[in-house]
Amino acid sequence: MKMYFYLPTRIYSERDCVKKHGTEWAALGKKALIVTGKSSASNGSLSDVTEVLKEHEVPYYIFDETEPNPSVEMVMRVRDIGIQEQVDFVIGIGGGSPMDAAKAIALMIANKDRGADFLYQKEEAAALPVVEVPTTCGTGSEATPYAILTRHDVQIKASLPHKIYPKYALADGKYLLGMRRDIIVNTAVDALGHFIESYINANATDFSRMLCEYGMGIWSSVKNVLIGAEITAEECDTLMFASTLAGMAIAHTGTALPHGLSYYLTYEKGIPHGKAVGYFLPGYLALSGPLIRKKVLSLAGFPDIQYFTAFIHRLLGPMEADEELVTKAVRGMMSNAGKLKNVPYPVTEAMLYQICGMAY
Amino acid sequence: MKMYFYLPTRIYSERDCVKKHGTEWAALGKKALIVTGKSSASNGSLSDVTEVLKEHEVPYYIFDETEPNPSVEMVMRVRDIGIQEQVDFVIGIGGGSPMDAAKAIALMIANKDRGADFLYQKEEAAALPVVEVPTTCGTGSEATPYAILTRHDVQIKASLPHKIYPKYALADGKYLLGMRRDIIVNTAVDALGHFIESYINANATDFSRMLCEYGMGIWSSVKNVLIGAEITAEECDTLMFASTLAGMAIAHTGTALPHGLSYYLTYEKGIPHGKAVGYFLPGYLALSGPLIRKKVLSLAGFPDIQYFTAFIHRLLGPMEADEELVTKAVRGMMSNAGKLKNVPYPVTEAMLYQICGMAY
């Protein structure tokens, strides 16, 4: 039996956790930079955060124009604002885009003499304390050290080599209530991708597998809301909880082929992250050994790979990528050493084409 | 669904982890204080640690006279040695006694102007970095912030209010090979106590329950070695892994009545910790609601409470405590607010007598 464990984030996953634990997290600094998008104003997350800050007399600056798949350029612009505003901690509110941006901005404010190239330099460096408040049920960024930015210089999304663990993760399912159905679906599929890619992973240990086994069971218990009608408040809590667990899993293993391939679809065609990941899940499962495939399908509540593939196709439709883009993704993936080493078997181009083929 | 999670310890649980990750943990400081007992020399743990330190040219001082259930007085003596030797990190090797002592000593060296009373003062304070190398399969101290010392001033063992999370936990099952059978049994029962007391606990969340559910299954898979003959190397790894998981569980919930009651038996009669805890497990289970009792028994692999009680009695024999000691334990427990608040129902003296009654 084996375990590699490290996750120095304080995680609260419960209803009203932003306010309930406000005294704790608001003590992180003297002025906060809030990084978010436009929708956090409508789901109540932004006002929960600002109410806590006001109550504790912590001033803050709100940047609410986070772009989807935030770029290095955006991070550098907001970094400058943060320095000018003299903030000493950063709060990310929203999906993966603002949460990842918050980490990168916190790193660059703490290293204010460094240029944008520092983002992708492998070097140990401190970041300002980060608080993450997820409002989707997918990225798990609140429980990982990862930040993925869009690099226009090399025309792809890529993970920073820096590990920026949030100080606090405050996951409240109520922010999912009233969320657009396609966002719920795409992000819940992203969370499933995290479980599957962490489970079928060269870095998996008994501990990360525990998170996946338990988490896929929880995910499975609510998966039918993805093809059904109304989602209850309790189901929102469950989706949010599963998403954070999935983040805890990939925090220990990293992701694998579906994530690696997805970045090309998102960069070239703007396909939402979870959707782009989901396309490749049936193929990644099909390529794995029969025993582990059966186990994963059983844990996630699918009788067989055909049923699973049909479920994913029903949720996402066929992949919107032509031959040229697939070739680009496959070639790019073959040179992505960081992701390839997470796959528990040697990967060939033919395998990647097979995975892509199952996405249509 | 709900989760409270915080555990900023880097945990490696695998064969040869002390040496395998030596470069990392040996970088914690410039001089180490090793706190251990006599037996760590024979199971190979001490030489693994000193080899790594020598290889990285980190000088060290060995204190190998840790007493069982270490006292405040011993901690203060070794603190003085540590200050004199100018150590800047502390390595605990052994069972709960040296690992808990290492935490307390690390706290007192970092706060060298404070007297012994500081140990039991509720005040935030830093400690020197701590590395823990468990050599028994019970305490889980490598994965908890707890340190329990013997207080002769109030004649009981008591947990420090300080939370001292180890920087590294290095859990290698090979140190259990050749361990005395009664120590394996007592500490494995302690680990089971951690699972049961964490599961039936007012502070339990879905996350801590996951650790317990998964961990009790693992514990159960090897429980028959406790009443059988030889223990294989793999079973040692499994027992060690389960013990660390159990530590991770109580790190989030604390322990409950069996631990609270056990301290009196250990203090007054020197009964080993795990054994003293185990006496009270059948009663604690019997007192819990029928649904949760059934669940715990099923997870730990026992058909019913009678079978479980017989299993514990076979391992430990009847409790060695007379009426007077039981009365003392019950009265003491009734005034132990810290432990009582972990129990998910109001506790009466009659209940505690009932728990003790099941231990004969």
- Confidence band, pLDDT 50/70/90 cuts, at residue B9: very high
Average pLDDT of span A15-44: 95
Question: Which residue in B288, B337, B360, B346 sits closest to B159, CA to CA?
Answer: B337
Residues of chain B neighbouring A12 (CB-CB closer than 8 A): 3-5
Residue B40 has pLDDT above 90, yes or no: no
Contact A280, A333 (CB under 8 A): no
Alpha carbon distance, N-terminus to C-terminus of chain B: 39
Give the separation between CA A242 and CA A83, rounded to whole angstroms: 35
CA A118 to chain B, closest CA, distance in angstroms equals: 24
In the prediction, which pLDDT does A11 show? 98
Angstroms from B325 CA to nearest CA on chain A: 41
| Residue B61 bridge partners (DSSP) | B33
Q: Are A185 and A315 in contact (CB under 8 A)?
A: yes
Under an 8 A CB cutoff, do B241 and A3 touch? yes
Asked if A244's CB is within 8 angstroms of B3's CB, the reply is: yes
- Locate the chain A residue with the closest alpha carbon to B213: A214
Rounded CA-CA distance A247/A254 in Å is: 9
The whole-chain average pLDDT of chain A stands at 97
Rounded to whole angstroms, what are the CA distances from B110 to B34, B130, B146, B235? 16, 11, 17, 38
CB contact under 8 A, B214 and A214: yes
- Alpha-carbon distance values, B125 to B4, B88, B104 (Å): 22, 16, 12
Nearest-neighbour CA in chain B from A3: distance (Å): 5
Cβ–Cβ gap B3/A214 under 8 Å: no
Chain B positions touching A10 (Cβ under 8 A) are: 5-6
Spatial separation of the C-alpha atoms in residues B73 and A21, rounded to whole Å: 38
pLDDT at B229 over 80: no
B-chain residues within 8 Å CB-CB of A7?
5, 7-8
- Contact call for B241 and A206, based on CB within 8 A: yes
More reliable by pLDDT, B317 or A40 = B317
> How far off is chain A from B236, nearest CA to CA, in Å?
10
Question: What CATH fold (topology level) applies to the domain A182-357?
Answer: Dehydroquinate synthase-like, alpha domain (1.20.1090)
Mean residue pLDDT of chain B comes to 97
Residue A276 C-alpha from the chain's centroid = 13
Q: What is the mean pLDDT of residues A319-328?
A: 95
SS3 state at B111: coil
Sketch the domain layout of chain A as residue ranges: 10-174, 182-357
Distance from CA of B239 to the nearest CA of A (A): 9
Cβ–Cβ below 8 Å for B13 and A3: yes
Task: Tell me phi and psi for residue A5, to 5 degrees.
Answer: -135, 130
Residue A359 to residue B292: CA distance in whole angstroms: 44
Q: Give, as one character, the DSSP assignment of residue A94.
A: E
Which chain B residue has its CA at the smallest distance from A239's CA? Answer: B1
pLDDT of amino acid B178 = 87
- Average pLDDT of span A200-209: 98
pLDDT of residue A254: 98
Residue-by-residue DSSP string for B14-83:
STTHHHHTHHHHGGG-SSEEEE--GGGGTSSHHHHHHHHHHHTT--EEEE--PPSS-BHHHHHHHHHHHH
Chain A residues touching B248 at Cβ < 8 A: 5
DSSP A67: P
- CB atoms under 10 Å from CB of A52, counted, come to 22
- Name the band, by pLDDT with cuts 50, 70 and 90, for residue A42: confident
Partner-chain contact B1 A213, CB within 8 Å: no
Q: What is the pLDDT of residue B223?
A: 94
Q: Give the distance between the most distant pair of CA atoms in chain A.
A: 58
In contact, A141 and A160? CB cutoff 8 Å: no
Task: List the beta bridge partners of residue A36.
Answer: A93
Domain spanning B180-228+255-357: which superfamily? Answer: Dehydroquinate synthase-like - alpha domain (1.20.1090.10)
Query: Which residues, including other chains, have CB under 8 Å from residue A73's CB and lie 6 or more apart?
Result: A116, A152
User: If you search the block for the tokens 């007379």, which residue do you land on?
Assistant: B322
Whole-number Å distance between alpha carbons of B287 and B293: 9
Does the CA dihedral A73-A77-A83-A87 come out positive or negative? Answer: negative
Mutate to test the interface with A, among B1, B144, B238 (most CBs of A within 10 A): B1
Q: What is the torsional sign of CA B273, B274, B280, B286? A: positive
Name A357's Cβ contacts closer than 8 Å, sequence gap at least 6.
Answer: A283
Q: How far is B231 from chain A (nearest CA, A)?
A: 15
Which chain B residues touch A173 with a CB distance below 8 Å?
1
Chain B residues in contact with A171 (beta carbon < 8 A): 3
Residue A36 has pLDDT above 90, yes or no: yes
Which residue of chain B has the CA closest to A213?
B214
Residues of A in contact with B238 (CB under 8 A): 1
The SS3 of residue A12 is: strand
Of B7, B171, B218, the CB nearest to A7: B7
- Greatest mean pLDDT among A100-109, B36-45, B219-228: A100-109
At residue A12, φ and ψ (nearest 5 deg) are: -115, 120
Q: Name the residue in chain A with its Cα closest to that of B143.
A: A5
CB–CB of B8 and A5 under 8 A?
A: no
Which residue among A5, A11, A213 places its CB closest to the CB of B3?
A: A11
Residue B139 backbone phi and psi in degrees, to 5: -65, -35
Distance CA B267, CA B264 (A): 5
Interface of chain A toward chain B, CB-CB under 8 angstroms? 1-14, 171, 173, 206-207, 210-211, 213-214, 218, 237-238, 240-241, 244-245, 248
Closest residue to A2, CB basis, from B4, B14, B248: B14
3-state SS assignment for residue B132: strand
Give percent of chain B above pLDDT 70: 100
Its ipTM equals 0.96
Q: Do residues B35 and B98 make contact, with C-beta atoms less than 8 angstroms apart?
A: yes
Q: Nearest CA to A326 among A283, A286, A292, A288?
A: A283
Instruction: Give the one of B6, B11, B213 whose C-beta lies nearest to A5's C-beta.
Output: B11
Tokens of residue A196, six digits: 């599957």
pLDDT of res. A205: 98
User: Average pLDDT in the A26-37 region?
Assistant: 98
3-state DSSP call for residue A315? helix
Nearest-CB residue to A4 (from B5, B12, B248): B12
**For chain A, where are the alpha helices, taking DSSP H only?**
17-20, 22-25, 45-55, 72-84, 96-110, 181-199, 206-222, 233-253, 257-269, 273-279, 281-287, 290-300, 305-316, 323-334, 337-340, 349-357
Q: Do B238 and A9 touch (CB under 8 A)?
A: no
**How high is the pLDDT of residue A230?**
81
Who among B13, B207, B213 is closest to A2 (CB)? B13
Nearest to B250 by CA among B192, B333, B185: B192
pLDDT per position as a tens digit, B313-348: 999 999 989 999 999 999 999 999 999 999 999 999
Residue range A218-230: mean pLDDT, rounded: 90
Residues of B in contact with A252 (CB under 8 A): none
The band of A281, judged by pLDDT with boundaries at 50, 70 and 90, is very high
- Distance separating alpha carbons of residues A299 and A315, to the nearest angstrom: 19
List the A89-94 sheet strands across, edge first.
A60-63, A32-36, A89-94, A130-134, A168-171, A3-13, B3-13, B168-171, B130-134, B89-94, B32-35, B60-63
B→A contacts (Cβ < 8 Å), by residue, are 1-14, 171, 173, 205-207, 210-211, 213-214, 218, 237-238, 240-241, 244-245, 248
| Residue where the block lists tokens 């809030």 | A34
pTM of the model: 0.97
Q: How confident is the model at residue A229 (pLDDT cuts 50, 70, 90)?
A: low
CATH fold of the domain at B10-174 = Rossmann fold (3.40.50)
Distance of CA A111 to the CA centre of its chain: 24
- Is the Cβ pair A210, B206 closer than 8 Å? no
Q: What pLDDT, on the 0 to 100 scale, is given for residue A228?
A: 81
The predicted structure's pLDDT at residue A85:
98
**A-chain residues near B240 (CB < 8 A):** 1
Mean pLDDT over residues A71-90, rounded?
98
Q: What is the pLDDT of residue A39?
A: 83
Question: Is B246:B140 a contact under the CB 8 Å cutoff?
Answer: yes
Asked if residue A59 lies in contact with residue A77, where contact means CB atoms within 8 angstroms, the answer is: no
pLDDT at B15 over 80: yes
- B133's enclosing H/E stretch is strand B130-134
pLDDT class for A110, splitting at 50, 70, 90? very high
pLDDT of residue A26: 98
Counted across chains A and B, CB pairs separated by less than 8 A come out at: 83
- C-alpha torsion angle, residues A96, A101, A103, A107 (rounded to 10): 160
Nearest residue on chain A to B211, judged by CA atoms? A210
The backbone torsions φ and ψ at residue A90, rounded to the nearest 5 degrees and listed phi first, read -125, 135
Question: Looking at chain A, which residue has its C-alpha nearest residue B219?
Answer: A1
Q: B-chain residues within 8 Å CB-CB of A5?
A: 7, 9-13, 248
Q: How far is CA A102 from CA A26, A128, A265, A354, in A?
A: 16, 10, 24, 36
Nearest partner of B149 among B195, B107, B194, judged by Cα? B107
Cβ A120 vs Cβ A76: under 8 Å = no
The rounded distance, in Å, linking the Cα atoms of A191 and A274 is 8
